[in-house]
């Protein structure tokens, strides 16, 4: 049932929002800009500039190389913070390192090596491109086959789809907990159980899930996961990624990039690679400390909010957005390109429109609303419950409606638009 | 012939030093601390804190995701700056990405794939551990053999050593242009020519060479190189690494980590991986922008100094250090563990002493001189010509002499020392 769609109703929901106070913990440099792209790059936490400045001046500038005695453990320390506050994992199961792509490569290779003889990698046909490409590379190098799971472009996969595709030739399944385009949320526990039955590993990409929906890696029986920290985790542009390996699997799995941060007793610098017995074996090289440092203040705010309250607000924002789209945008040629059931979605929503590229660009330049375009014809809008208000969703969609109704986007020359 | 070893002579050399003014372009937070570890972590350039603060506040905080329209090319833009000012390479031959370890993995795998049928990887037995481990991993996965070149621990390898070890079974040679421990400088052109004769690729690790000695990748006929930017390039702790692939080879080589930053027309997000035709194919995932941003102010100072003037001063500082070590430290049980000929060394110097671990620790805590310990018994001292003065070398070695002469280090309980 659709609620009250007035702006006043949105204002009232903001007043009642238990997370409303946390918006002040972010830099809102331009109050006129409506930012609905926190699913791509999260906002700057207000505490981050000072934290970084201190790190640069004190830890680097003054302490110099001596700071490595603490930095050396940051990948693991930040991993434990993520495990506790975001990922539902145990201490020692998560590290922060490298990019999501490199982490996915490492864990996918480790899983394939641990499942020799099986010929198939299973992946959502609509999986984020880097994941698909990486698996194509691993398959090419090993003579394996990547089988894509065709899913409804808007509704996404269900655990049943996955279960039906599984057989004893599947070595590895790679899926996003929240799909990057449709926002479809998959039930981790159901997929993990189905895969375990046939002896396949599941490697989760949590990039759009971490910080937006409750993720219970340990409780859901997850084996492997990776994800980025620059979306709902607000770690900054290109912030280092995380990886998770279930404790019971760590001694059994080996990743292919044998760098010195994965070495047992790293500074002995012995002649032979001898991987650390624990999660450290999934590390490779020296981590980018400035980028790691931005994670702490971001996680502070997230821990304070708590993932359950974030999820509740995320559902509320999403439902408002869908209701407004139904009322205002359907008559203008938009269709919802995400699951309609809020329990089957993460925090972002996709709308399909034949002119989505021009609309997304005009929306930024003419209406000061930031969303993003995704091929082939999708406008993706990602309210972030830590700092997006109900009135932001209302105002953003009102501006979008007015822009399209007035045909403003049609004045943009489409040939000048670069797809990024 | 040994020069005047008085402190006054050192002061006079500082007065005459054409690079003396550049010391002010770095933060010297503690003038009493003598920092001889720029070969491990370079100092903080004075312009870096403001540059980072601007990036964080403006590009991230205010512009938000829109900044990706410029960030997207930073790996390549910074690579071109490195190519021009530091590496003697052509535009489009260098990118900044990932860690040195991950880059070495990518390029070594690419070279091995391009040289099928050959069974041997050749590496210096004293090569930096992460390089050796990575090659062991690649060899294990492909059934190849890693052959180590035994070199004199102090004098290091010569091109003749390498030439004699080469045969038509060698697919790849991995060497450091400047060895991490002894500081031995290899002649790139001579090694490249010898390897080309037998059809082997050479992959150079330039971590201790970039910014300390002139490197002419193009002119020396180099095929492949990697290196870090946090030592003599002053990019900050764990700053992203670079990789170089000779233009003529780029279309022929493919690396194994097929991430979306290596994809031709990345944002089309097409179904199949189709590597970019140029250096971009060696990229993988989203780069850590905060860490990349610190490279620009660091390269500004370096470009102003010019690599030839840096090298001239580096030789001067090294010769003073060796002369003082001969005069003061040999009687205390030290021996030089680097080539004596300054043209066969990079900018850092190693001294062997049976009690080097305790000495290196006491030197920091009791004498406020920062160098570092390297197994088995080495004290490594790295003056950095951009900001190290001749008097710093003089004072540092005088403090070292006095500390050891008084036996201060012997009071440190050796069992509490963690090797890092």
What's the per-residue H, E or C state across B115-178?
Answer: CCCCCEEEEECCCCHHHHHHHHHHHHHHCCEEEEECCECCCECCHHHHHHHCCCCEEEEEEECE
Residue A66 burial by Cβ neighbours in a 10 Å radius (0-12, 13-18, 19+): middle
Nearest to B293 by CA among A41, A284, A239, A47: A239
- B53-65, pLDDT tens digit by residue? 999 999 999 999 9
Pairing mode, strands A242-245 and A94-96: antiparallel
pLDDT of residue B418: 60
Q: How many CB atoms lie within 10 A of CB A298?
A: 28
Of B60, B130, B257, the CB nearest to A134: B257
Residue listed under structure tokens 């869908």: A322
Identical fold, B7-46+306-416 and B72-303: no
- Look at residue A122 and tell me whether its pLDDT is greater than 60: yes
- Residues A10-19: contacts with CB within 8 Å, 24+ apart? A10/A320, A10/A389, A10/A390, A10/A391, A10/A393, A10/A394, A11/A390, A11/A391, A13/A316, A13/A320, A13/A390, A14/A389, A14/A390, A14/A391, A17/A313, A17/A389, A17/A390, A18/A309, A19/A305, A19/A309, A19/A310, A19/A313, A19/A385, A19/A386
Q: Would you name the residues of B annotated as active-site residues?
A: 128, 205, 230-231, 380
- Residues in CB range of A315: below 8 A, 6 or more apart: A342, A343
Rounded to whole angstroms, how far apart are CA atoms A63 and A267?
20
What is the topology classification, in CATH, of domain A72-303? Answer: 3.40.640
CA–centroid distance for B13 within its chain: 26
- What six digits make up the tokens of B327? 């005069």
Q: Is B60 assigned to a binding site?
A: no
- Inter-chain touch B41–A68, beta carbons under 8 Å: yes
- Inter-chain touch B256–A72, beta carbons under 8 Å: no
- Inter-chain touch A236–B291, beta carbons under 8 Å: no
- Contact between residue A79 and residue A242 where contact means Cβ atoms under 8 Å apart: yes
DSSP at B329: I
- A230-246, pLDDT tens digit by residue? 999 999 999 999 999 99
Helix (H, G, I), strand (E, B) or coil at A37: strand
Rounded to whole angstroms, how far apart are CA atoms B271 and A127?
10
pLDDT of residue A60: 98
Helix (H, G, I), strand (E, B) or coil at B243: strand
Lowest mean pLDDT among A208-222, A335-349, B152-166, B275-289: B152-166
- Look at residue B2 and tell me whether its pLDDT is greater than 70: no
Average pLDDT for chain A: 96
pLDDT of residue A267: 87
DSSP at A181: T
Nearest to B139 by CA among A105, A272, A280: A272
- Residues in CB range of B195: below 8 A, 6 or more apart: B162, B166, B170, B173, B201, B202
pLDDT of residue A370: 97
The DSSP annotation for B28-59 comes to -S-TT-EE-BTTTSPPPBTTHHHHHHHIIIII
Within 8 A of A67 by CB-CB distance, chain B residues are 237
Q: What is the mean pLDDT of residues B21-45?
A: 97
How far lies B345's CA from each of A22, B348, B375, in Å?
56, 8, 19
pLDDT of residue B412: 86
Locate the domains of chain A by residue range: 7-45+306-416, 72-303
- What six digits make up the tokens of B23? 């010391």
Rounded to whole angstroms, how far apart are CA atoms A57 and A78?
21
- Contact between residue A74 and residue A287 where contact means Cβ atoms under 8 Å apart: yes
Active-site residue (options: A118, A181, A231, A345): A231
pLDDT of residue B163: 97
Within 8 A of B271 by CB-CB distance, chain A residues are 125, 132
Q: What is the mean pLDDT of residues B213-226?
A: 98
- A10-20, pLDDT tens digit by residue? 999 999 999 99
pLDDT of residue A150: 86
Lowest mean pLDDT among A99-108, A144-153, B216-225, B374-383: A144-153
Average pLDDT for chain B: 96
- What six digits make up the tokens of A298? 């971001």
- Look at residue A420 and tell me whether its pLDDT is greater than 90: no
Q: How many CB atoms lie within 10 A of CB A132?
A: 25
Q: Which of B39, B57, B288, B293 to mutate to test the interface with A (most CBs of A within 10 A)?
A: B288
- Look at residue B420 and tell me whether its pLDDT is greater than 60: no
- Residues in CB range of A40: below 8 A, 6 or more apart: A231, A372, A382, B65
- B104-127, pLDDT tens digit by residue? 999 999 999 999 999 999 999 999
How far lies A308's CA from each of A22, A263, B35, B401, in Å?
15, 37, 49, 61
Q: For domain B7-46+306-416, which architecture applies?
A: Alpha-Beta Complex (3.90)
Q: Which amino acids of A are annotated as binding site for pyridoxal 5'-phosphate, given as ranges?
A: 100-101, 128-131, 205, 208, 230, 260, 286
- Contact between residue A370 and residue A37 where contact means Cβ atoms under 8 Å apart: yes
Cis status of the peptide bond prior to A376, with omega within 30 of 0:
yes
- CA closest to A270 among chain B residues: B129
Q: What is the mean pLDDT of residues B337-344?
A: 96
- Strand partners for A203: A174, A224
Nearest to B247 by CA among B265, B221, B216, B210: B221
DSSP H or E stretch at residue B378: strand B378-381
Q: Which ipTM value was assigned to this complex?
A: 0.96
Rounded to whole angstroms, how far apart are CA atoms A410 and A90?
52
- Inter-chain touch A30–B62, beta carbons under 8 Å: yes
Helix (H, G, I), strand (E, B) or coil at A223: coil
Of A72, A133, A419, the CB nearest to B263: A133
- CA closest to A146 among chain B residues: B272
- Residues A295-298: contacts with CB within 8 Å, 24+ apart? A295/A78, A295/A81, A295/A96, A295/A229, A295/A233, A295/A235, A295/A239, A295/A240, A296/A51, A296/A78, A296/A81, A297/A45, A297/A47, A297/A48, A297/A51, A298/A42, A298/A45, A298/A48, A298/A229, A298/A233, A298/A234, A298/A235, A298/A236
pLDDT of residue B78: 98
- Inter-chain touch A99–B69, beta carbons under 8 Å: no
* A261 contacts chain B (CB < 8 A): yes
Rounded to whole angstroms, how far apart are CA atoms A154 and A163?
20
CA–centroid distance for A98 within its chain: 15
- B257-303, pLDDT tens digit by residue? 999 999 998 888 889 999 999 999 999 999 999 999 999 999 999 99
- Inter-chain touch A273–B27, beta carbons under 8 Å: no
- A294-325, pLDDT tens digit by residue? 999 999 999 999 999 999 999 999 999 999 99
Q: Is B100 assigned to a binding site?
A: yes
> In percent, how much of chain A has pLDDT > 70?
98
Nearest to B368 by CA among B34, B44, B29, B37: B34
- What six digits make up the tokens of A14? 């903001």
User: Phi/psi of residue B352, each to 5°?
Assistant: -95, 140
Helix (H, G, I), strand (E, B) or coil at B94: strand
- Look at residue A119 and tell me whether its pLDDT is greater than 60: yes
pLDDT of residue A152: 80
pLDDT of residue B151: 79
Residue listed under structure tokens 């109704």: A405
- What six digits make up the tokens of B148? 């180590």
Cis status of the peptide bond prior to B376, with omega within 30 of 0:
yes
What confidence tier does A412 reach under pLDDT thresholds 50, 70, 90? Answer: confident
- Look at residue A1 and tell me whether its pLDDT is greater than 60: no
What is the topology classification, in CATH, of domain A7-45+306-416? Answer: 3.90.1150
* B387 contacts chain A (CB < 8 A): no
Rounded to whole angstroms, how far apart are CA atoms B238 and A361?
36
pLDDT of residue B419: 56
Rounded to whole angstroms, how far apart are CA atoms B261 and A364?
25
- Look at residue A127 and tell me whether its pLDDT is greater than 60: yes
């Amino acid at each position: 049932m659709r609620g009250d769609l007035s702006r006043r109703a949105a204002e009232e929901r903001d007043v009642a929002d238990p997370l409303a106070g946390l918006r002040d913990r972010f830099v809102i440099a331009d109050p006129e800009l409506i930012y609905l792209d926190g699913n791509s790059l999260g906002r700057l936490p207000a505490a981050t500039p000072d934290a970084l400045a201190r790190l640069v001046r004190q830890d680097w500038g003054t302490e110099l190389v001596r700071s490595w005695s603490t930095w050396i453990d940051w990948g693991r320390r930040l991993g434990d913070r993520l495990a506790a506050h975001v990922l539902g994992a145990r201490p020692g199961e998560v590290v922060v390192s490298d990019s999501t792509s490199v982490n996915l490569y490492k864990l996918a290779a480790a899983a394939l090596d641990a499942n020799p003889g099986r010929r198939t990698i299973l992946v959502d046909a609509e999986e984020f491109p880097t994941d698909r490409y990486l698996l194509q590379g691993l398959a090419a190098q090993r003579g394996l086959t990547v089988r894509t799971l065709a899913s409804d472009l808007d509704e996404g996969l269900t655990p049943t789809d996955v279960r039906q595709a599984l057989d004893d030739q599947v070595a590895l399944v790679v899926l996003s907990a929240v799909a990057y385009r449709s926002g479809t949320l998959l039930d981790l526990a159901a997929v993990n159980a189905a895969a375990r039955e046939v002896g396949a590993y599941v490697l989760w990409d949590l990039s759009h899930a971490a910080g937006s929906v409750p993720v219970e890696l340990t409780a859901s029986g997850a084996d492997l996961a990776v994800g980025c920290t620059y979306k709902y985790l607000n770690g900054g542009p290109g912030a280092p990624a995380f990886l998770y390996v279930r404790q019971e699997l760590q001694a059994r799995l080996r990743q292919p990039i044998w760098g010195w941060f994965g070495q047992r007793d790293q500074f002995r610098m012995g002649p032979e690679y001898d991987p650390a017995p624990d999660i450290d074996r999934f590390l490779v090289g020296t981590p980018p400390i400035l980028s790691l440092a931005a994670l702490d203040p971001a996680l502070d705010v997230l821990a304070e909010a708590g993932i359950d309250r974030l999820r509740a607000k995320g559902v509320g924002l999403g439902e408002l957005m869908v209701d407004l789209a139904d009322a205002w945008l359907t008559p203008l040629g938009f269709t919802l390109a995400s699951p309609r059931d809020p329990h089957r979605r993460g925090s972002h929503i996709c709308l399909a429109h034949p002119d989505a590229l021009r609309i997304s660009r005009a929306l930024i330049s003419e209406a000061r609303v930031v969303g993003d375009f995704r091929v082939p014809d999708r406008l993706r809008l990602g309210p972030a419950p830590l700092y997006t208000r109900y009135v932001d969703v209302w105002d953003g969609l009102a501006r979008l409606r007015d822009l399209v109704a007035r045909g403003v986007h049609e004045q943009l020359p489409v040939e000048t638009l670069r797809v990024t």
